[in-house]
Amino acid sequence: NAGVMQNPRHLVRRRGQEARLRCSPMKGHSHVYWYRQLPEEGLKFMVYLQKENIIDESGMPKERFSAEFPKEGPSILRIQQVVRGDSAAYFCASSPFRSSRLDHNEQFFGPGTRLTVL
């Protein structure tokens, strides 16, 4: 089974451009999570999506950032008008179902997209 796939693996943008990061979850998984990681730091939650729905976007900046997970196709994290501070590794994870108090489930991570803003 293919794992979580992310592309591109590396993305270079100039300030003011748009960045689009794609994530294809594992087969059979309908829950997608996006995290951001700065060098030498832990991952920070950004957004949690199910097919066609944003469930929790509490970790995502209110401006310039958006995410979607359409009925068909990969999940997209979109960053408009990028700034140097957006340079980071962006990881996507997927899980087969939603965690509950009785049944936590593992999140499987992709290899990440490393965004560099010049």
Smallest separation (angstroms) from other proteins to the CB of 112? 5
Concatenate the DSSP letters of all residues of 87-108 into one string: -EEEEEEEESS---SS---PPE
Q: Considering the rule CB under 8 A, would residue 45 count as an interface residue with other proteins?
A: yes
| H helix count then E strand count, the chain | 0, 11
Q: Helix, strand, or coil here: 84? A: helix
x/- letters, 77..116, toward other proteins (CB under 8 A)? --------------x-x-x--xxxx--x-xxxxxxx----
Q: Considering the rule CB under 8 A, would residue 4 count as an interface residue with other proteins?
A: yes
Smallest separation (angstroms) from other proteins to the CB of 93? 8
Cα-flanking dihedrals φ and ψ of residue 85, to 5°? -65, -10
Q: Considering the rule CB under 8 A, would residue 52 count as an interface residue with other proteins?
A: no
- Quick check: 83 and 102 in contact, CB under 8 A? no
Which chain residues interact with other proteins by CB under 8 A?
4, 31, 33, 35, 40-45, 48, 55-56, 58-59, 91, 93, 95, 98-101, 104, 106-112
